[in-house]
Amino acid sequence: MDIEEHYSQLLGINSPWQISHVDLKMQEQRVDIEIEYADDEGPCPECGTICPKHDERKRRSWRHLDTMQFATYLHCELPRVRCKEHGVKTVKAPWAEKNSRFTLLFEGFAIRVLQAARSVEEARKLLGLNWHQVEAIKARAVKRGLSRREEVTIPHLGIDEKQFRSGHRYISSLVDLQGGRVLDVVEERTEQACKALIEQSLSEQQRQQVTAVALDMWKAYANAVGEKLPQADIVHDRFHISQHLNEAVDKVRRQENKQLIKQGDKRLVGTKFTWLVNEERVSEAFADQFEDLKRADLKVSRAWALKELFRDFWTYSYAGWAKRNFEKWYAWAIRSRLEPIKEKARMIRDHLPNILTYFKHRISNAVAEGLNSKIQTIKANARGYRSFEGFRNSILFYCGGLDMRP
């Protein structure tokens, strides 16, 4: 078997395509494979009709999987055919997607490396690609994946916001909570953006099948859900409420810390994260110190205790009991003389009907938050995406649950 035949089999190149020449460059560790189209007619890429050959386009190249350690490239002058209906069109190469500089096998491999690598940078180096090439492979992969998505029933959605770049630019994400995947993301966190997000991610029928949506106590999102998914219950979820209470605890700590420092008391310096974790998760190293702080008559320890107490709320089996529990908690919170806690307590009270829906649906954005931390890694990895499109592609590439094979 000569080397041309060997490569024809390896690459699955079939008639009328044929390998005319294989140039093995030992010094450069590189293989260049020339492919010819040996026919005077070919299929129109639009309709498949066999049409007469018109001419050849200028030579194009595709990177293929390395052969052993040899970087391997395919080259071909793709023929153009003249279709009666569609005019002069370039015949599609069977080894690559339109406009790609890589063969399908290479792209498939690159997708796997990108998914397995700890960072895009690591994958990029392993594959010997530049940043732009990696982004193009990801963009095509996501496009394929989205076009293959099946229209399934998605009963529970999560809507969440995420900071995009520094400053106050946000994206909104729509998550399939059961499927644990990001359906799509859009720029901004306005009512309009959220409506567009729902519309572009779900068909009319899918929208009607949604039974509940988990989201923060954020009016813009609630309004969008009310309009686009009127039959679905809104669930202001556990995850966001605990985030709000943590914010309040931290605010109390900051204010109190300032006061104490004025009096030369540094007890609260460096304790920010101690107060944000749940009691059972306070690390051993801090356990003693934490015990002392809790027992001391500090505002932050009272705030923390109220935050911890609220966790009981979620343990009830029925909304009615949970509501009674809340009323008790609310009375304590309001009498606490801790402004940040009182503020959040009122916020929770005002939204209570859509918090009690939890006991019917039992959903939270915890899944979405898991995906969020993945998105955070994507952001850090990318050292800040310049364009929203690139950021969106990466999110869908890693969190979209897509079938992206070429």
Question: Which parts of this chain interact with Zn ion (CB under 5 A)?
Answer: 44, 46-47, 83, 85-86
User: 206: exposed, middle or buried (C-beta count within 10 Å: 0-12, 13-18, 19+)?
Assistant: middle
Q: Which two tokens stand for residue 57?
A: 């386009």
Provide the total of helices (H) and of strands (E) in the chain, helices listed first. 16, 13
In the bound state with Zn ion, the residue whose beta carbon lies nearer, of 44 and 159, is 44
Of 19, 20, 38, nearest in space to 79 by CA: 38
Q: Which is nearer to Zn ion, 23 or 85 (CB)?
A: 85
Q: How far is the CB of 55 from Zn ion (least distance, A)?
A: 17
239 contacts 245 by C-beta, under 8 angstroms: no
* Cβ distance to Zn ion smaller for residue 47 or 126: 47
CA distance 234 to 226: 8
Which residue number, 47 or 152, has a Cβ lying nearer to Zn ion? 47
Pick 81 or 210: Cβ nearer Zn ion: 81
**Spatial CB neighbours of 90, under 8 Å, sequence gap ≥ 6:** 45, 57, 78, 79, 80
Angle among Cα 164, 150, 109 to the nearest 5 degrees reads 65
CA dist., res. 150 & res. 175, Å (int): 15
Q: What is the DSSP letter of 96?
A: B
Which of 89/228 has CB closer to Zn ion? 89
Q: At closest approach, how far in Å is the CB of 104 from Zn ion?
A: 23
| Selection from 112, 109, 23 nearest residue 61 by Cα | 23
Of 49 and 223, CB closest to Zn ion: 49
**Rounded CA separation 16/14 (Å):** 6
**CB nearer Zn ion, residue 88 or residue 116:** 88
Q: Which residue stretches of 94-130 are H helix?
A: 104-116, 120-127
CB of 43 to Zn ion, least distance (A): 8
CA distance 110 to 9: 22
In the complex with Zn ion, which residue's Cβ is closer, 85 or 327? 85
Taking the complex as a whole, how short is the minimal distance between the CB of residue 87 and Zn ion, in angstroms? Answer: 8
Minimal distance in Å, beta carbon 46 to Zn ion? 4
Q: What is the nearest approach in angstroms of Zn ion to the Cβ of residue 83?
A: 3
For the bound state, the minimum distance from the C-beta of residue 81 to Zn ion, rounded and expressed in Å, comes to 8
Bridge partners of residue 23, in order along the sequence = 32
In angstroms, the CA 106 to CA 11 distance is: 11
Residue with tokens 């994946």: 145
Minimal distance, residue 40 CB to Zn ion, in Å: 17
Give me the least distance between CB of 60 and Zn ion, in Å please: 21
